[in-house]
Structure 1
Amino acid sequence: MTNSQRVAIVTGGSRGIGREIVKRLAADGYAVVVNYAGNTAEADSAVAEVTGAGGRAIAVRADVADENAVAELFDTAEREFGGVDVVVNAAGVMPVSPIADLDLAALDRVLRVNLRGAFVVDQQAARRVRAGGAIVNLSSSITRFARPGYAAYAATKSGVEAITLILARELRGRDVTVNAVAPGPIATALFFEGKDEQLVARIAAEPPMERLGTPGDIAEIVAFLAGPARWINGQVLYANGGAI
């Protein structure tokens, strides 16, 4: 590895949008650390995809809400690849329930993973990302859609957006950008879970583009923010095909 190779950490990188981001950043020449919560087989598969295409990647298991585990995640990236240039927060959970019926244990979990997790990862990123680097947090267009059943999830993503905007300003003088990407409905296993064909078709028809987004659509935006988009900072980019 040359000293000029850029290094990215992608949380939630073993599946869905996170995995597509891993593949895209690796294709752009990054050495990638694939963080995952528990599914070792999926994480190893993501690494194999990257290395099979000639890239460099390792998988590191860590609970994003555990500050010691996240510190070790960053330690591993620095030890294996020499530093950290890009951090992408894609880890998350999405309980769906009306407020009146939501099990508060589910609320605690989504707050822990989505909000505390983003904060803990961003805290390490703020300390360690090298000059010229980028931090990209995944929010959600659900903060604008205000769709019934998603209050807990939307609350955490609104918090992620607040963290993003403030951290961008706290890193003044560091030459590190901090932005959030807020996808609309994306065709992943997480999205399709619990939805019948009629509901999926209705949601897909909402944007003027008349389709669901794909993980690749989001990976393109993250790659842009991670690399050439140096004059975009402290922003939330809504990526939903024009649905809102």
Structure 2
Amino acid sequence: MAKLDTLREKVVVVTGGGKNLGALIGQTYASEGAKVVLHYHSDSSREEAQHTLKTIRDTGGEAVLFQGDLRRLETMQDLFGFTYEYYGGVDIAINTVGKVLKKPIDETSEAEFDMMQDVNGKTAYFFIQQAAAHMNDNGKIITIATSLLAAYTGYYSTYAGGKAPVEHFTRAASKEYMHRGISVNAIAPGPMDTPFFYGQETEEAVAYHKSQALHGQLTKIEDIVPIVKFLTTDGWWINGQTIFANGGYTTR
């Protein structure tokens, strides 16, 4: 059986690991004895990433930071190459990178379209590729998608459209890497109660999003982390799936 009975000494890569959901994922795995590589994008998020690193180390956990723009394949290769050299392999890889743009199709520029495809689609594709290339057998790969994949709505065409390929990347990779015992899954949260969400929305839109889920609330990062952990431990038999974890915000 390929279940990870313990996370102790396992090597975990978390992209977008300096803040919000990624930070909590990193802290959770470190508290279980895993060795964590926290990726963050740019100098603007360095302070938050350093705070996350300090929090982990102050509580006895082990973690290191890696900065880079993962829209470039070379940087993705560097991230996993660094992890392999530093820790000798990868056991779990979790990609939380994403970018929201709420805008009518008629007003979307070519530059915006290309940027959204790169951040949400290209990054996810090469994350899976490079994670698998450096991963120990029986490893786990997880990508954070979005519940908008099951929504009938306007204005999020480049966000939901950019994340939509993640579902097939996940299915294809889960089939291709099955012989190595590597599982590949995606999690599709509802709108999350983080700064990542609020920058795009009016007060009226926030109220509407809240009204569509259990208890009239947004998805909490604390509700997603246990699902991530489950897929890498007791939920090892789940493979090739997109799991909608959103309080009923959207369904299929």
> If the length of structure 1 is used for normalisation, what is the TM-score?
0.94
1:154, distance to aligned residue in structure 2 (A): 0.7
For the pair 1:25 / 2:29, whether they are aligned, the reply is yes
Deviations 1:7-32 (A, max 9, x none): 11011111222112112222222111
- In structure 1, runs of 5+ residues without a counterpart are none
Pick one of 206, 219, 226 that aligns with 1:220: 226
Task: List structure 1 segments (4+ residues) > 6 angstroms apart after TM superposition.
Answer: none
Q: Which residue number corresponds to residue 102 of structure 2?
A: 96
Q: Which residue number corresponds to residue 147 of structure 1?
A: 153
1:67, distance to aligned residue in structure 2 (A): 1.6
Pick one of 237, 245, 249 that aligns with 1:239: 245
1:77, distance to aligned residue in structure 2 (A): 1.1
> Helix, strand or coil for the counterpart of 1:221?
helix
How many pairs align? 242
Pick one of 157, 163, 166 that aligns with 2:172: 166
Q: Which amino acid aligns with 2:100?
A: M
For the pair 1:175 / 2:184, whether they are aligned, the reply is no
1:151, distance to aligned residue in structure 2 (A): 0.5
Question: CA–CA distance in 2 between the matches of 1:101 and 1:199?
Answer: 19
Q: Which residue number corresponds to residue 116 of structure 1?
A: 122
Check whether the contact 1:88–1:137 (CA below 8 A) recurs between aligned residues.
yes
Q: Percent identity?
A: 32
Q: Which residue number corresponds to residue 14 of structure 1?
A: 18
Check whether the contact 2:102–2:200 (CA below 8 A) recurs between aligned residues.
no
Question: CA–CA distance in 2 between the matches of 1:235 and 1:163?
Answer: 11
Question: CA–CA distance in 2 between the matches of 1:241 and 1:175?
Answer: 31
For the pair 1:58 / 2:64, whether they are aligned, the reply is yes
Check whether the contact 1:64–1:118 (CA below 8 A) recurs between aligned residues.
no
Question: CA–CA distance in 2 between the matches of 1:219 and 1:60?
Answer: 21
Q: Which residue number corresponds to residue 137 of structure 1?
A: 143
> If the length of structure 2 is used for normalisation, what is the TM-score?
0.91
Question: CA–CA distance in 1 between the matches of 2:207 and 2:31?
Answer: 32
- In structure 2, runs of 5+ residues without a counterpart are 1-7
CA-atom RMSD in angstroms: 1.5
> Helix, strand or coil for the counterpart of 1:209?
helix
